[in-house]
Structure 1
């Protein structure tokens, strides 16, 4: 494969280095270019490669979670599983990885415990612990395995669909790093915002300074879209979200696009997904420079203006536990709501990740229904 080298020494993969893309629906929807309306809504599913698939569970029997993330050919295989199973029904792939590779790169240990999820044995308890974080992260050294997985997957996809890269939002990563794992209240993380506002901003800035080159590195490696997940957005009050989340989201969008432009890379459409935020936050997200705003299932697409190119979402993930007839009926209802938007593209997705108990056949029924009812 041919490549050029950036000033930082990274391999820069160009479009011509990869197989010709045969399905660009999601790219057209995300850019919402005049005269290039999509013939139907492109569809992908958050966590489409995951525990609901028997082939995923089979591979997990012999490999730990982070072993898969850190082994390019395994990450590629997991990424490809839903693309193979639902051939022609998914319009994008998303690299198999985890948002918590960033805290790992910053120097914190992260474990993925059975039935518990992520666990930090030594979280950030006080501002003194900030000294334990790496001040400067060698992105290639610490996260090169993600870039290798992206390049391998882009080749393996053979032009079927575009490949999405992703990262966690600064606030969400901060919440994990201070709380030590998931939480119902995130009281420790929010205590930091109250008691140590400047130290909190210092950590958020450190995270953001790592995220920007990480996301640009994914583009260099072959990612064609980028999504930023703010999974714990709803845990913050409105004024705290404005102070401790939005500025860092906006900085990521601006600096990633700017750096891609400077390096001669294709500037990827960027998606921001902030789960369970109120209608007062949506307009603020629209001003952060992302091309697409992702919505959870509690938010109406009619609450999004035409400032962004497109919206993404927002089917209730629990729809996939229903029978096929009920799934199709719900799809029609949501499709009709999105059709009321007079401007902008639409990327069909769930309003959060698919859950482990879903039957693969139910997702297939859902994907077929979306294709059927969104055809122009």
Structure 2
């Protein structure tokens, strides 16, 4: 069985000879090769917007670690940027929007981007990556979930307490829903274009869904994720099925609700008991995860042991994609990442 089929079969809970593995943020700063390409680019957004460089860093984990899937190198915030928001990545500070959304008038000023125009560099990167992969591994496209994208758009960047976005949600829920609708529409078009360009699977990252209460998650996040899951193409132009993965960081208490979106795979963070999740929703969705990224600071023998224990917690049967519970951290030694991948790829 080819590696490409291994990952995709696992997404659909079909039997595989071993479990596939990849890592969130696998094309990243822990790799010296990535840092060299990033230095050539000059800045992060140039790296994202230069298809040849985005292709280069997307392929690095395939070539260096032998992971079983590639994930497009880009950033979730290219969508709000394409909607007309000025984006910059400040050194040591992360992303910043020059003029955050604070009113209904700001929402009304947002553009409805054409992904083959404003985001053409992403589609060009996907086409180039598929050509260079040449079937060695499948390519995962991705987006941020509408709630997570909206947090950055309203807060203007990262946040400790998310007071501004929650203020909008509580004080003017109509405006909040209007913003989420606009973002959802843009995301559906964006992911549809990714599939047309060659993405073979899609992941929706709801990094900040877990900051909400259950009632607020069910109002402001989950319905918009469900609209994306139901609105994107589930078949490639060549007739192959496209699995959709939903990852909600901090969403372990809402597993059944997330499974109800119609996604094929649920990504789990490290706080979720994998055995309990498998028992609860494993008959409906494949599960992806969920080693604590900080476990990769351990000695390599401990990493291997913890990875095997995670696999044992899932148990037998198909439908487990080995991954971390969030992105790999920048100062993890490459040898430690390799130990994780190798233990994941062992039989059993």
Is TM > 0.5 for Structure 1 vs Structure 2? Answer: yes
Q: Does 1:254 align with 2:235?
A: no
What secondary structure is seen at the aligned counterpart in 2 of 1:74?
A: helix
Distance in structure 1 (CA, Å) of the matches to 2:98 and 2:239:
39
**Match of residue 211 from structure 1:** 187
Q: Which runs of 5+ in 2 are unaligned?
A: none
Q: Is 2:165 aligned against 1:165?
A: no
The answer on 1:370 being equivalent to 2:348 is no
Q: CA deviation at 1:227?
A: 0.3
Structure 2 distance, partners of 1:23, 1:107, is: 36
Q: Distance in 1 between matches of 2:101 and 2:256?
A: 32
State the alpha-carbon separation in 2 of the partners of residues 163 and 141 from structure 1.
Answer: 22
Query: Which one of the candidate residues 93, 106, 112 is aligned to 2:89?
Result: 112
What's the offset of the Cα at 1:265?
Answer: 4.8
SS in 2 for 1:108: coil
- Which of 72, 75, 80 pairs up with 1:98? 75
Displacement of 1:274? 0.2
Any idea what SS the aligned residue of 1:24 has? helix
Task: Give the equivalent residue in structure 2 for 1:58.
Answer: 36
Q: Deviations over 1:39-97 (max 9, x none)?
A: 111000000000111111112223211111111111000101111112xx310000100
TM-score (norm 2): 0.95
Partners of 1:56 and 1:264 in 2: how far apart?
32
C-alpha separation in 1, matches of 2:2 and 2:196:
17
Which position in structure 2 is the counterpart of 1:49?
Answer: 27
Whole-angstrom distance in 1 between the partners of 2:140 and 2:345: 20
For structure 1, the residue ranges without an aligned partner over 5 or more in a row are: 1-19
Counterpart among 43, 54, 73 of residue 75 in structure 1: 54
Provide the C-alpha distance between the structure 2 equivalents of 1:228 and 1:54, rounded to a whole number of angstroms.
Answer: 28
From 165, 183, 196, the counterpart of 1:220 = 196
Which residue matches 1:16? none
Q: CA deviation at 1:343?
A: 5.5
- Larger mean CA deviation between 327-336 and 112-121 belongs to 327-336
Answer whether contact 1:328 1:369 (CA < 8 A) is retained. yes
CA–CA distance in 2 between the matches of 1:357 and 1:308?
A: 36
What is the alpha-carbon root mean square deviation over aligned residues?
Answer: 1.6
Instruction: Give, in whole Å, the separation in 2 of the partners of 1:22 and 1:175.
Output: 36
User: Which residue does the alignment assign to 2:7?
Assistant: 26
Task: Please give the per-residue CA displacement for 1:306-364, whole angstroms capped at 9, x wherever unaligned.
Answer: 3433100000001111101111221122111011xx65500000000000010111101
Please tell me whether the aligned partners of residues 255 and 281 of structure 2 are also in contact (alpha carbons under 8 angstroms): no
TM-score (normalizing by structure 1): 0.88
Matches within 5 A, 1:307-318: 307-318=283-294
- Residue 40 of structure 1 corresponds to 18
Quick check: 349-358 or 119-128, which moved more?
119-128
Deviations 1:107-145 (A, max 9, x none): 1011111111111111002222113211x3222111111
Q: Given the alignment, which residue of 158, 181, 187 partners 2:163?
A: 187
Query: Deviation digits for residues 4-28 of structure 1, max 9, x if unmatched?
Result: xxxxxxxxxxxxxxxx965311100
SS class of match (1:253): helix
Q: Is the 8 A contact 1:165 1:218 kept in 2?
A: yes
Give the match's secondary structure for 1:228. Answer: strand
Alignment partners' CA distance in 2, 1:343 and 1:195: 47
Q: Give the deviation of 1:278 after TM superposition.
A: 3.7
CA drift at 1:199: 0.6
Q: What secondary structure is seen at the aligned counterpart in 1 of 2:21?
A: coil
Whether the aligned pair in 2 keeps the contact of 1:286 and 1:307 (CA below 8 Å) is no
**Runs of 4+ that moved beyond 6 A:** none
| Matches of 1:127 and 1:244, distance apart in 2 | 17
Q: For 2:4 and 2:216, how far apart are their aligned partners in 1? A: 40
Moved more, 303-312 or 266-275: 303-312
- Which whole-Å CA distance do the structure 2 matches of 1:266 and 1:137 have between them? 27
State the secondary structure of the residue aligned to 1:40.
Answer: coil
